Amino acid sequence: MSATLNEFSRDLLGGILRNRHSTRAFLSTALSRDQINRILEASSLAPSWCNTQPWRVHVVSGQMLQRISKDLIIAARDRDDVPDIPFASEYPEPFGGRKQNADADLQSARGLTNSDYRGQIEAVRSNWRFFNAPQVIFLTTPKSLGSYALLDLGCFLQSFLLTCVAEGLAACPQASLAQYPKVIRSHLSIDDDELLVCGVSFGWPDPTAGANQCRTGRIGVLDFAKFYGE
């Protein structure tokens, strides 16, 4: 590859990585089946253990999405069910502080105050309305393949998120969409051997929404990497 091409691809990828952020308000315009296929095909170029490609993708839109949303909101109200992969029950430092910062940044982008309980409940509930996205994917992977299959699925997920950005679209990965797996299983055909890992709402971002102005920071390289030599 020539030096110019290297620079071009580095800048292009850098732009896509920097432009990706979790988007929590979408326009109601649905994507075409062709466009969704193209995104999934590109995402499937992700690496996986011995090329096992253990991702299963359930693409949902239309009336089915509305029915799932209604049932998820009821399940959340009744706290009925537990996720296939347990959520962390506490966040020791330094993770707790980072989570708090991200929560506070999002709350402020949404224009919510600490005392606005109703607004905060509505913001949590908007997860189960898919932030108005007209299409969502639910990601599952076989339990029997163990933890590395989750890593493979994570590679697929990031490829999916970046491909959305490359297409001018946006997305939000959501563990909250895997919080009440009974609901999802009652609507979709998911084998007993599969773990429901997360969902991703995606589509055209609403550029005017406060929630979409939120940008999270990152720790520096020396805060997470150790270099060894000699």
Ligand X SMILES: Cc1cc2nc3c(=O)[nH]c(=O)nc-3n(C[C@H](O)[C@H](O)[C@H](O)COP(=O)(O)O)c2cc1C
| Footprint on this chain of ligand X (rule: CB under 6 A) | 21-22, 24, 102, 127, 172-176, 198, 216
For ligand X, give the closer residue by CB, 6 or 216.
216
E strand segments, the chain: 56-61, 135-142, 170-174, 194-203
Nearest distance from C-beta of residue 229 to ligand X, angstroms: 31
For ligand X, give the closer residue by CB, 141 or 174.
174
Distance of CA 28 to the CA centre of its chain: 18
For ligand X, give the closer residue by CB, 30 or 85.
85
Nearest distance from C-beta of residue 175 to ligand X, angstroms: 4
DSSP percent split of the chain into helix, strand, coil, nearest 5:
55, 15, 35
Nearest distance from C-beta of residue 174 to ligand X, angstroms: 4
* DSSP-assigned letter for residue 26: B
Nearest distance from C-beta of residue 18 to ligand X, angstroms: 10
Q: Where does residue 171 rank: exposed (0-12), middle (13-18), buried (19+ CB within 10 A)?
A: buried
Give the Cα separation of 108 and 210 in Å (integer).
Answer: 9
For ligand X, give the closer residue by CB, 79 or 226.
79
* CB of 140 closer than 8 Å to CB of 196: yes
Nearest distance from C-beta of residue 106 to ligand X, angstroms: 7
Give the tokens for residue 46.
């992700």
Report helix, strand or coil for 115.
coil
Nearest distance from C-beta of residue 183 to ligand X, angstroms: 15
- β-partners of residue 138 are 58, 199
Give the Cα separation of 68 and 129 in Å (integer).
Answer: 9
For ligand X, give the closer residue by CB, 32 or 86.
86
* DSSP-assigned letter for residue 25: -
Nearest distance from C-beta of residue 165 to ligand X, angstroms: 11
For ligand X, give the closer residue by CB, 98 or 185.
98
Give the Cα separation of 199 and 217 in Å (integer).
Answer: 23
For ligand X, give the closer residue by CB, 162 or 172.
172
